[in-house]
Structure 1
Amino acid sequence: METACATCTGLQKHPKKPHQDYGSEPVGSVRWVNTTLPHLRASSGGCRGCALLLQGALLHHGRFASIREDQIKVTAETIHSATNPSQDHLSVELRWKSHEDDCDDMSDHEHDEGYPDLKLEFFTDQDGQSSFSAIGRGRHIITNPLQDTGIKTVHNMIRQCKGNHSLCRDRNGDFTPHRLLDLSVANPSKAICLRELGADANAEQAAQEYFALSYRWGIGRGMLQTTSKTLNAYKKNIAWDTLPRAFQEVILFTKSLGVRFLWIDSLCVVQDDPSDKIRASLELKDVYGNASLTIASTSAAEPTKGLFAPQMQTFKVQANDSKGSLSKVYVREQPSHYSFKKASDVGSPMNNWELLSDASKEANARTPLLLRAWAYAERLLSPRVLHFTDSEMLLECREAFQCECGRIDDAAFDPRKTDTVKQDFAQCAALADANGHRRMDSVVSQLAATSLSDGTDDLSTTPANPLELWSYIVTEYTARNVTYDTDRLMAIAGVAKTISRAIGAGYVAGHWMSSTLGLLWYPSEGAQCRRPKQIADRNVPSWSWASVEGSPIFFDNSSAMDLACTASFSVNGSQNIFSPFSGDVVELRAAMATEVVFQEDAPGEYWLSGNGISVEFQPDIIPLRGEDMAKSGETLLCVLVSMSFRSSILGLILKKSRTKAPTYRRIGRFECYECLKDGSDEEPEDAEALFEHWFPDVDDMTQLDERPRHVFKIV
């Protein structure tokens, strides 16, 4: 009798493994291999199972060619899922250390709790039988979406969404985009035309269903665009051979799904007409919100690369076991779902959402569209987005994800949580539409009652707080790239408009007029930041997060204690104004404000001093320059706003404006954790000591609301 391999048990059920569950319908996983790559290579000489695993790994050698083999750990397990009983493939994970990590203890592998560096799956056809009982069935992924199987798969995904998701059904029947591409020309494979629907009632009625394209412009050189010179010609004909590959493929795909009209921004918006671009940006909410489907070229860096990304290769291997039984086994890299998953299963300490912009470099490289700010807004606004990636098609809608492999939300295969911000955004907007304007006093009271220790709450079961959700969206949005400074507020205007009913307040230059705490934003990396260029008809004031470029923007939305500071906006007293692209003066009325002396100890090291006490300071822009410039010994203004649950004191640092006296400019957010006595070696004092030293006349903090207010105008 042949002895089972000690490394992989021959990838067969074996009586010497009593802990393995081989019941008729097992749920859980069976571990077959836990070794290193050199050990697997050595074992492959006498074991067909190990040889098969090694062959599959080496077919993907390019992924770890620069890694020493003795740093690569290999595990293999069969996963049995209650929700995916038709899949019982063999999952093989490879993990390795960086070259900088010279620890040789493989049992203390730094990635053991994270997602593997390379994850492979070995599987047979659905009706196939493997000669290794550890290798079961898997799903093939479509390589050509234009074939009947691809079109049928997409139809099924959309049907599943429309039939089961109430949030995905809503459509404004009164809205039709100003222009759409009409794909119903005489010879549809050769040409299309641009149709202005307001001039054609029949076409407008037919255009009640249309698709939209979300794509990355790339460097933009040679991009086919509608301009004032080409507009009339494009109304008659847009030659097929002038279209980039992605446009051609999305046209063929749209027609294959039986839809006549398509919206592509470069062709449906007159690109050299500023008024047309502003109109289109304000209609973004409706254009994408009313599209039956948004098709996303998620893995393409630019339109010339095409819509249908080249799929990761699936290898077919002839495998035979110790008895000579022969079978076909397929090996491919398992779809990792890239940036649609959180980097880990650990919640963010900042809020209940974990930033997806922290995805791995590899994930970002394989989904370049997800790094664009415009595309992020388009994803949120669309009822459903069909992502074309280099591993599979994914349908992301307002209530769920669907993918070809069928495992994106199956924790048995991947415990990382799927991004829910689109779903939370849709729920928030729908709740506001159902209930009318929300009372903001109830929202603020929720914020004030929120503790940072409550981060374990499951937001999937409770409606998202609209202000907190907005802050998270801005953080994700600012972590993404936008080519032109002037587009920063333009691209997010549609998102703000959608959520405005939930927040129920005026909106000015990215800020909600009901929230003083929203002014406590801060860039995560001031050394990477700059102030954007201003243009004549756009004023992005220093108090707006959009006045800083180059870094994700974070917010302090929860307050343990209000320090009697309020903000009002100079917009004719209206609380319902929607001014998405510009803003003016904010008037702060604060009970606690004091002058402080600015000090620069070394390049990039800043302090604020007053009454013999100094506190560290991180300005918005490092080093300070331009209108933010401050010299050592210069007097600045510190306005306190709140205390946080981190036991820190929060406020704004203002500098007198050189050009608009007697107004101020914001140069940074202030957060004090501890105070240092000038010229003393004593231990730092807690943040609360700042009140005593900088505000000695405040003897009763509970009476702040009764104190006189200092008034400052910030531009």
Structure 2
Amino acid sequence: MAEDGVDIANASAPGEGWLTESDFDDLSADDELVLAGIPPPLPLLPVPEHVSQPGDELCHDCSILRLKRSRFIVWPKDPDYGGYVQPDANFIELGNVKDMRQRKNCPFCRLVLQALGGDRVPNIASDGSPVKAQMCWTTDGTRDRNMPWNGRSEIRILRIYGRTGSGGFLGIEEMNLFPDISLLANDFPSEAPAKAQRFLPRPMQPECIDFKVVRRWLAICETNHSKVCGNRANMKQMGWTDPAGAIPDFRFIDLEDRCLVRASGNPRYAALSYVWGREPFFCMTSENLAVLQKPGAFDKEEIWSQIPATIQDAMTVAREIGIRYLWVDSLCIFQDLIDIDNMTGEEEVIMAGKMGAIRMMDSVYGAAYVVICAAGSRSAHSGIMGVRPGTRELMQPIEEIAPGFRLAYRQKSHDGIESFPYFKRGWTYQERHFATRLLTFVNGQVSLRCSSDISFQEDTWDDESVISSKRPPSFAGEGNDIGDGVEGPIQNYSEMQLTKQSDIYNAFAGVARQIRMQLNCDICHGLPVKYFDWLLLWHPLKKEQIRREGAPSWSWSGWQGGAFPRMWDWYTRDMKAIRKALRRRTWIVWYHRHGPHSTRCSLVHKHGRMSEGSKRNFYGGPIRKRFPFDCSQTEPTPRTLTEFEPTEYYFDVISTRPYSGYLQFWTVSAVFEIAETKTPWPEKGGPPPGKQLGIFGKSGDELGLIMVPTSWLKDNPAPCKREFLLICEARDLRVAGRKDMDVDDHEWRYRVMLVQPKAKGEYYERVTIGSIGRGDEMDSFGEGPRWKEFILG
């Protein structure tokens, strides 16, 4: 993209193409014509030599698949032509993975194994059954502008699946997500509809990344959706001020003057997102700042040799895409080791600047023109594969099936991400979350995702039907989708790892602030209060969790490991419908203790009908009679915790009212027996982690199922009788085909929380969540169900 003699598509050296904040403002008519004429796609590269090996021949199982070049095109005469892409169906068995690995001369077997995940794919599944490969024919093509998740059929692809012998799917740790194979673009039939070629995979430059491709992506984004992907929209939405003005001593690396500079005005900059690793490296301190601020500092060998490879390569990336200024935390924030209890005046200034930058990490990354995401770099010393010639180590998965007929696996930027530390670190989550343009380097490749929810990859063409359309922002929290706006961020972040467990709220603060602004409600220890009851119903996601003692047990923040809040799954994604249902399906009035030793409590959430007092429930709905005993007491009684020294939970920086983390409330208490069960788990995806047990009443009837942590069972072996709290009404499963999910039928059940008494019963902690039928509370042991006050920590 060219203006005033600056060509973003070709700028690479310092001083030849720096982009300023005003470069894309006040364009003349001629400029706009130039912008409309985005540089054309680069020509196809030759087919790599490695695609054909001596002795290659399709095995018997693959030869009967009738793979032909013409089958990968949807021809105008085909019934599928122009129709919507259909769900995967008609699966074809390819055989056991172990057997396919023995067919070393079969090019299609090799390609399928690469597409599945290569060496990550096990021969034997965790259930002891052999892992099998399957495929099905499906289609792809032009995205529908009104439904961008769907497309029109223009090419055919082979979708590959890895399945266990018992029919289950492999996890993301063991295989790539939804891999597909199609015809290499070089072998596109000349008589086929020309526009179909852009959906086929293409060869990549083997030695290193071609930054002309990246510059073209940025030109496309800048031209077609600058209002959405420009940082101004995000900054306005989040209420951010420019970091240069809000953070004391905000600095950049100036790649033209090769030194550190203090930010002035509002320069366009790139920000680096990466992992440090355990090995120490060169950082900016108060002692070396004066040297680093001198022009040419980074050209001096004694300094440059100390800059870790990942940061050196990030400087190269920024230069290649025409960005003069780069922000890197280790070189732009003071990293002095300071004794905070004995600070000098100068150290207090340094610490103020450092903490100011840390508190505003969301705006630092959100205000950047582009975030350089070194996701494939395992430490600051690793470098960014593909930036320097000879570092790509890329063997693109292409195989020759017959002369002039090559197939390729269409790689995805998230392939194999489970093996990289970057995608497991809590602090990096919000760095990429707030990026308006995220340039990701992983597996020696680069991809770009922008806020218009459009992705670019090196081995694919650019879908002009999508990139030229006006797109709404994909900023999380937009719209009315509970999955995108609330549950998705919680689920994704809860899986992350933290070096310091005390950072559980700090590293989520920016995302939480965004959720709080979108929902117009507070967040209490990680749970938005407008959806409090149903967000308490989360389950562990992939594996059993470990208790994080510095946060309350009732929140996902109180556990290490992924949490799965799944309203979108068992009810609906519609936030408005959820709020309506909560007004009808709940009865607990939640209070938050100001401190562990304090008797003061405040409502967790105040609805719009507080003047009606006890006539309304926690969400403003009318009080409903549910239980055959007095439930009128809902206000907390003054209680002092005397039998123990209560845990002081981590300060809740994401809340506007950061109280203790101890909830105080009244609800139904009931005692049930948990014991072995033969009832299968009702959900198709299988149960959450833990030991599946049944919940039994005094009649001996099984009332429901529950997944109990095996660590808890070591001290509480089943069968045993334990106390449960009735939390709210909810469903176990969504009723297929039903539009009105709030119909009062037998599918609505009571969600119950198995609790563990602490400090001689002065307070309780959550163990897990289960469900029983409405009315089953009357089948409880002992005195039966009763209305009881609890403190939950």
Find the partner of 1:648 among 716, 737, 749.
749
Find the partner of 2:776 among 689, 703, 710.
689
Distance (Å, rounded) in 1 between the aligned partners of 2:553 and 2:355: 23
Find the partner of 1:423 among 474, 494, 513.
474
> What is residue 221 of structure 1 aligned with on the other side?
279
> What is residue 290 of structure 1 aligned with on the other side?
367
Find the partner of 1:399 among 449, 452, 455.
452
Distance (Å, rounded) in 1 between the aligned partners of 2:168 and 2:761: 60
Using the size of structure 2 for normalisation, the TM-score is: 0.57
Find the partner of 2:481 among 430, 451, 464.
464
Find the partner of 1:624 among 712, 730, 734.
712
CA shift for structure 1 position 488: 1.8
CA shift for structure 1 position 394: 2.5
Alpha carbons of structure 1 residues 90 and 224: separation in structure 2 relative to 1, 3 Å: farther
> What is residue 669 of structure 2 aligned with on the other side?
594
Find the partner of 1:562 among 570, 582, 585.
585
Does the CA contact (< 8 Å) of 1:142 and 1:150 recur in 2? no
SS in 1 for 2:330: helix
Find the partner of 1:495 among 511, 515, 521.
511
Does the CA contact (< 8 Å) of 2:385 and 2:444 recur in 1? no
Find the partner of 2:560 among 538, 549, 554.
549
Does the CA contact (< 8 Å) of 1:281 and 1:491 recur in 2? no
The letter of the residue matching 2:712 is: L
Distance (Å, rounded) in 1 between the aligned partners of 2:207 and 2:592: 54
Find the partner of 1:204 among 246, 264, 273.
264
> What is residue 184 of structure 1 aligned with on the other side?
254
> What is residue 495 of structure 2 aligned with on the other side?
479
> What is residue 165 of structure 1 aligned with on the other side?
228
Distance (Å, rounded) in 2 between the aligned partners of 1:116 and 1:528: 23
Distance (Å, rounded) in 2 between the aligned partners of 1:597 and 1:109: 33
CA shift for structure 1 position 502: 2.0
Alpha carbons of structure 1 residues 615 and 228: separation in structure 2 relative to 1, 3 Å: farther
CA shift for structure 1 position 270: 4.1
Alpha carbons of structure 1 residues 578 and 241: separation in structure 2 relative to 1, 3 Å: same
Does the CA contact (< 8 Å) of 1:595 and 1:637 recur in 2? yes
Pairwise CA RMSD of aligned residues?
A: 5.7
CA shift for structure 1 position 257: 2.6
Distance (Å, rounded) in 1 between the aligned partners of 2:139 and 2:438: 29
The letter of the residue matching 1:375 is: T
Number of equivalences: 569
Alpha carbons of structure 1 residues 53 and 287: separation in structure 2 relative to 1, 3 Å: same
Alpha carbons of structure 1 residues 178 and 666: separation in structure 2 relative to 1, 3 Å: same
> What is residue 505 of structure 1 aligned with on the other side?
521
SS in 1 for 2:312: helix
CA shift for structure 1 position 301: 2.8
Alpha carbons of structure 1 residues 693 and 710: separation in structure 2 relative to 1, 3 Å: closer
- Once the two structures are superposed, residues 336-356 of structure 1 have per-residue CA deviations (whole angstroms, 9 ceiling, x without a partner) of 3436xxxxxxxxxxxxxxxxx
CA shift for structure 1 position 88: 8.1
Alpha carbons of structure 1 residues 228 and 265: separation in structure 2 relative to 1, 3 Å: same
Distance (Å, rounded) in 2 between the aligned partners of 1:381 and 1:81: 29
> What is residue 395 of structure 2 aligned with on the other side?
313
SS in 1 for 2:270: strand
- Say whether residues 1:529 and 2:597 are aligned partners: no
- Say whether residues 1:153 and 2:204 are aligned partners: no
Does the CA contact (< 8 Å) of 2:400 and 2:407 recur in 1? no
Alpha carbons of structure 1 residues 169 and 611: separation in structure 2 relative to 1, 3 Å: same
SS in 2 for 1:480: coil
Distance (Å, rounded) in 1 between the aligned partners of 2:718 and 2:132: 53
Distance (Å, rounded) in 1 between the aligned partners of 2:537 and 2:361: 26
Alpha carbons of structure 1 residues 259 and 181: separation in structure 2 relative to 1, 3 Å: farther
Distance (Å, rounded) in 1 between the aligned partners of 2:554 and 2:69: 65
Distance (Å, rounded) in 2 between the aligned partners of 1:76 and 1:35: 9
CA shift for structure 1 position 497: 0.7
- Once the two structures are superposed, residues 544-601 of structure 1 have per-residue CA deviations (whole angstroms, 9 ceiling, x without a partner) of 32111134343667659534211122458596997338640544332x4336478788
Distance (Å, rounded) in 1 between the aligned partners of 2:252 and 2:402: 55
Using the size of structure 1 for normalisation, the TM-score is: 0.62
Alpha carbons of structure 1 residues 549 and 376: separation in structure 2 relative to 1, 3 Å: same
Does the CA contact (< 8 Å) of 1:650 and 1:671 recur in 2? yes
CA shift for structure 1 position 240: 1.9
> What is residue 653 of structure 2 aligned with on the other side?
579
> What is residue 533 of structure 2 aligned with on the other side?
517
Distance (Å, rounded) in 1 between the aligned partners of 2:283 and 2:252: 16
Query: Structure 1 vs Structure 2: percent identity of aligned residues?
Result: 14
Find the partner of 1:338 among 414, 417, 428.
414
CA shift for structure 1 position 496: 0.6
CA shift for structure 1 position 167: 7.7
> What is residue 184 of structure 2 aligned with on the other side?
123
SS in 2 for 1:713: strand
The letter of the residue matching 1:158 is: C
> What is residue 141 of structure 2 aligned with on the other side?
81
List aligned pairs for 1:652-663, cutoff 5 A: 652-658=753-759, 663=762
- Once the two structures are superposed, residues 402-430 of structure 1 have per-residue CA deviations (whole angstroms, 9 ceiling, x without a partner) of 213586998x9xxxxxxx999261525xx
- Say whether residues 1:364 and 2:418 are aligned partners: yes
Task: Identify unmatched segments of 5+ residues in structure 2.
Answer: 1-61, 86-90, 97-104, 125-129, 145-150, 341-350, 387-391, 466-470, 568-577, 595-600, 607-650, 678-689, 733-747
The letter of the residue matching 1:390 is: N
Distance (Å, rounded) in 1 between the aligned partners of 2:412 and 2:112: 17
Pick which of 224-233 and 242-251 moved more: 224-233
- Once the two structures are superposed, residues 597-635 of structure 1 have per-residue CA deviations (whole angstroms, 9 ceiling, x without a partner) of 78788996888888677877868754239xx97799999
Distance (Å, rounded) in 1 between the aligned partners of 2:70 and 2:712: 67
List aligned pairs for 1:38-187, cutoff 5 A: 63=118, 81-82=141-142, 119-125=180-186, 139-141=202-204, 147=210, 149-160=212-223, 162-163=225-226, 165=228, 169-170=232-233, 171=235, 172=240, 174-176=242-244, 177-178=247-248, 182-184=252-254
Distance (Å, rounded) in 2 between the aligned partners of 1:653 and 1:37: 44
The letter of the residue matching 2:414 is: Y
SS in 1 for 2:275: coil
> What is residue 706 of structure 1 aligned with on the other side?
none
List aligned pairs for 1:595-610, cutoff 5 A: 596=671
Task: Identify unmatched segments of 5+ residues in structure 1.
Answer: 39-49, 102-107, 198-202, 322-326, 340-361, 413-419, 429-462, 535-539, 674-685, 700-708
Distance (Å, rounded) in 1 between the aligned partners of 2:758 and 2:652: 26
Does the CA contact (< 8 Å) of 1:141 and 1:392 recur in 2? no
